[in-house]
Amino acid sequence: MKTILNIIWLVFGGLWLALGYVLAGLVCCALIITIPWGIASFRIAGYALWPFGRTVVDRPGGPGMASTLGNVVWILVAGIWIAIGHVATAVAMAITIIGIPLAIANLKLIPVSLMPLGKQIVPTAWARA
């Protein structure tokens, strides 16, 4: 079931979301000071490409002070706009019955798009263990 949902997701929005995150990662990596956000953006791009069967957890040791400060800067610069985009896309996907699981997956991307530093994307089986 996860594979079918991931294929539908890929066709109806996942590819475009992933390309957006890759573009943001390339822009962030162009400047030396924003490389951590670029790397986080590349991680989220992989998650946005194939979200079903994976989840976001805190990195071992918890988020540090640098991650927290970095996330605050990210929220002010880009995170809020990306989150608004995810909400708008989720509303559009939720119009059809088939799109409801896709809308839920889109809403699941909001926390990591707001605070990407200090997070890790793992298979759901690992998160339960």
Nearest to 124 by CA among 111, 108, 110, 113: 108
pLDDT by residue, tens only, the chain of 129 residues: 788 888 988 988 889 888 988 998 898 899 888 898 899 999 999 999 998 888 888 888 767 888 889 899 888 888 888 889 889 989 998 998 888 989 998 999 999 999 988 888 888 888 766
Encoding tokens for residue 38?
Answer: 């670029």
pTM to 2 decimal places: 0.83
Backbone phi, psi, residue 56, to 5°: -105, 130
| CA 65 to the chain's CA centroid | 21
Q: How far apart are CA 14 and CA 25, in angstroms?
A: 16
